[in-house]
Amino acid sequence: MTEWSVTEPQKLVFDEPVSALHVRIVSGAVNVVGTAEGPARLEVSEIEGPPLRVTQSGGTLTVAYDDLPWKGFLKWLDRKGWNRSAVVSLAVPADTRVEVGVVGAGAVVSGTEGPTEVKGVTGDTTLVGVTGPVRTSTVSGGVEAQAVTGDLRFNSVSGDLTVVDGSGSFVKADTVSGSMIVDLDPAGPTDVSLTSVSGEIAIRIPHPADTEVEANTASGAVSNAFEDLRVAGSWGAHKITGRLGAGTGKLKATTVSGSIALLRRPPSEEAPHSPELSDAPEPGDAAPSAPVDPAAPAAPADKKVL
């Protein structure tokens, strides 16, 4: 095992192969970029407080504080330990398995192909062009996913989920009070399941679509842009059900008091462009910007609202 103690801004290059990356920091930012060539590289551009411990054992590269374990990470709320900050950027082989944990810090993961897991107590997470399976868990931090093609799992207490140009075949998201805006442009059948207690849910899918739809809210409003779907209920509970196309995919959305909107996605060549969603830099590079704003699609003339 090789070990470094980082107490000031520093750059490291790892000649040994890296197949797994573990990062855990408090305050600051983490940027992870998957690359096709070259050895793994680390840049710590800012650091305050206790040193970061960097270790390489076998194929696993770890950048973390000694007192911040991965197990039970979302319960780590020791305010005395918040007197620290680090800005960390890493370039690793695209197929690296990535685990990132942040407390009060932002995390950006871009261009990875291996499994990715991000845990956050506070602080937002941005995923750009990730093709491997993704699992995210937050307490109050939001998650933005742009052009993610792998399976996506999201769980939070009050954090929001925003998916832009989602082309993966599987999305499962659960939150208590966070809102969900999911913009889908899949290449084939999808399995989408969204659950919230009080958060609003908005889903945009292509037209024509090919999915079985079931959307329920106990006391919220519903909005439906597809004439082939049935809207039932006038007081209290509302439901949108039906089949679009052959119904080979599944779309299920459930909320207790939040509203549900099922929206029609315009053809990609007609889709408007929006300002940049986020940056996911490798040192000196910038991530692509979000091409679509799913929060403000054009409502068709046949839209039904209850």
* pLDDT for residue 284 is more than 70: no
CB 229 within 8 A of CB 262: yes
Chain centroid to Cα 273, Å, comes to 20
pLDDT at residue 266, rounded to an integer? 78
When pLDDT is averaged across residues 22-31 and rounded to a whole number, the result is 94
pLDDT band at 122 (very low <50, low <70, confident <90, very high): confident
Integer Rg of the chain from CA: 21
pTM of the full structure: 0.82
**CA nearest 181: which of 143, 137, 219, 139?**
143
When pLDDT is averaged across residues 193-216 and rounded to a whole number, the result is 94
Amino acid at 14: F
* pLDDT for residue 117 is more than 80: yes
Lowest mean pLDDT among 104-118, 191-205, 220-234, 264-278: 264-278
When pLDDT is averaged across residues 166-188 and rounded to a whole number, the result is 93
Domain ranges of the chain: 1-106, 124-306
Pairing between β-strand 260-265 and β-strand 222-224 as defined by DSSP bridges: parallel
Tokens of 193: 């399941």
